[in-house]
Amino acid sequence: MMNLGGQTFANAYAALETALGCATSAAKCGTVTNPNVANQPFFEAALKGTGYCTGYSSCTAAVLANEGANGTGNLLIQDVWHLWSDLDNGGFNFPRSMMNTPIQGQANGGSGQATSGIALNASTGYGNYHGGFVTFKTNSFHGLTAQANFTYSKALGTGAVVQASSEYTPNDPFNLDAMYGLQYYNHKFIFNTFMVWQTPWFKKQEGFTGRALGGWTIAPIFVAGSGAPLYCNTNTDSSSFGAGDGANYFDNEQCVFTSKYTGGVHTHRNIGGSVDPFGNSVGTATEGSGEAAINMFSNPAAVFDQVRAPILGIDTKNPGQGPISGLPYWNMDLSLTKSLRVAERVNLEFTFVSTNVLNHLDFAYPYMAVNYSPGWGVINSQGNNPRQMQFGGRIRY
């Protein structure tokens, strides 16, 4: 609905972002010196006669200068909300009041405007789950009860939050499809299996051998799965599409990959990071000990140079709850029970229960944010609990 001079605001805005290099990647955004951009009909019509363009060759040049690197910087962080507020305060020529229109006698800003954003708090989101699973089960077969399940699925939706999240808003309240994608709990592959095996030999526990080898119950549980969507933070949650001011409102705005990521999901040790062609130190953060951290990417700088925040006028969708998947996981728990017959009516029972019995390390998901390149892909903490053991004894009589 924002159309003047035969052009939409979105297209005019996208032209400026492209000229600054921001459409290529967050790393390149703002590195273009003397950006060359044609006059945009929207800005020329909307700002004509307001005084905003005084001293500049055109109104487009005025917006580029005032909102670029030497001005507010809103163009460099894709902050549509505050850019719009600045221009509205400068005197946009619209025959109607806008949500950003300053209240007379008040400073321009969230409390000095008609509103600081448009939030949607009703339960109007939607989702889809598609999955198939295969199950194998055996029951009391020579003392063995076991089940194995494999699931292949995909969980899609507009984000799942409790209705009490009053400050949460969709990326674009006018188009819920803009944030439709993978849900945060999506795991493409999940496998789990368990067994309870009561050993069938020496049930009467006669003699020393019978008491030593009989009465055992072994019960392991094993789970494994692929990673969930990996959150990739931008500079201005809820601001890239102009919905909210990023302070009074928030959403799950995600990074956008400008080319398909094909690097896989792995951990790479002793990745010291590097400096990309645009002068950003990428993946250089270290562990607390000062040692080089583990990184999800073998070449963090190359991956970082593929991402940017969503740009109004270029992107019509945001990649759900994350643009790529995180690390896979697996775990095994174990329970052992030994029943020892002491007399006809007296039994001793010893139990051993251990979570993560193999003490397997699952790394925490790496940090990804376009506004902090040193931490890009860095993994410096454990994502699961270390092995825990519990021992018990019981007398039955």
- Measured CA to CA, the distance from residue 21 to residue 142 in angstroms comes to 68
Task: Tell me what pLDDT residue 207 has.
Answer: 82
Residue 378 CB partners (closer than 8 Å, separation 6+): 283, 285, 293, 294, 295, 300, 366, 367
Same domain, 93 and 148: no
Binning the chain into helix, strand and coil, the percentages to the nearest 5 are 15, 30, 55
User: H/E element holding 137?
Assistant: strand 127-141
Task: Tell me what pLDDT residue 26 has.
Answer: 93
CB 366 within 8 A of CB 372: no
For residue 119, being part of any structural domain is answered with no
Same domain, 94 and 193: no
CB atoms within 10 A of CB 353: 16
- Measured CA to CA, the distance from residue 258 to residue 244 in angstroms comes to 25
For residue 118, being part of any structural domain is answered with no
Same domain, 74 and 174: no
User: Could you identify the residue written with the tokens 């003047």?
Assistant: 4
- 250 pLDDT band, cuts 50/70/90, is confident
Residue 200 corresponds to which amino acid?
P
Same domain, 247 and 322: yes
Domain enclosing residue 224, as ranges: 130-396
For residue 265, being part of any structural domain is answered with yes
For residue 283, being part of any structural domain is answered with yes
Same domain, 179 and 301: yes
Same domain, 385 and 324: yes
The number of domains in the chain is 2
Same domain, 107 and 169: no
For residue 122, being part of any structural domain is answered with no
**DSSP of 43-79:** HHHHHTTSSTTTTSSSHHHHHHHHHSTTTT-GGGTT-
Same domain, 212 and 343: yes
From 81, 112, 143, the end of a domain falls on: 112
For residue 117, being part of any structural domain is answered with no
From 52, 84, 112, the end of a domain falls on: 112
- Measured CA to CA, the distance from residue 388 to residue 356 in angstroms comes to 7
For residue 125, being part of any structural domain is answered with no
In this predicted model, what pLDDT tens digit does every residue of 123-178 receive, in sequence order?
788 999 999 999 999 998 988 999 999 999 999 998 887 767 777 888 888 888 99
For residue 120, being part of any structural domain is answered with no
Same domain, 218 and 249: yes
In this predicted model, what pLDDT tens digit does every residue of 254-285 receive, in sequence order?
999 999 999 888 999 888 888 898 889 999 88
Please state the φ and ψ torsions of residue 75, each to the nearest 5 degrees: -70, -25
In this predicted model, what pLDDT tens digit does every residue of 73-127 receive, in sequence order?
999 999 998 888 888 776 676 655 566 666 666 655 555 666 667 777 777 889 9
The SS3 call for residue 85 is helix
3-state SS of 310-362?
CCCCCCCCCCCCCCEECCCEEEEEEEEEEEEEEECCEEEEEEEEEECCCCCCC
Alpha-helix runs per DSSP H in the chain: 9-19, 41-47, 59-67, 80-90, 207-213, 300-304
CB 355 within 8 A of CB 333: yes
In this predicted model, what pLDDT tens digit does every residue of 285-313 receive, in sequence order?
876 555 667 899 999 999 999 999 999 99
Same domain, 283 and 325: yes
Same domain, 106 and 251: no
Residue among 240, 226, 65, 203 nearest 153 (CA): 226
In this predicted model, what pLDDT tens digit does every residue of 31-51 receive, in sequence order?
988 888 999 999 999 999 888
Same domain, 220 and 78: no
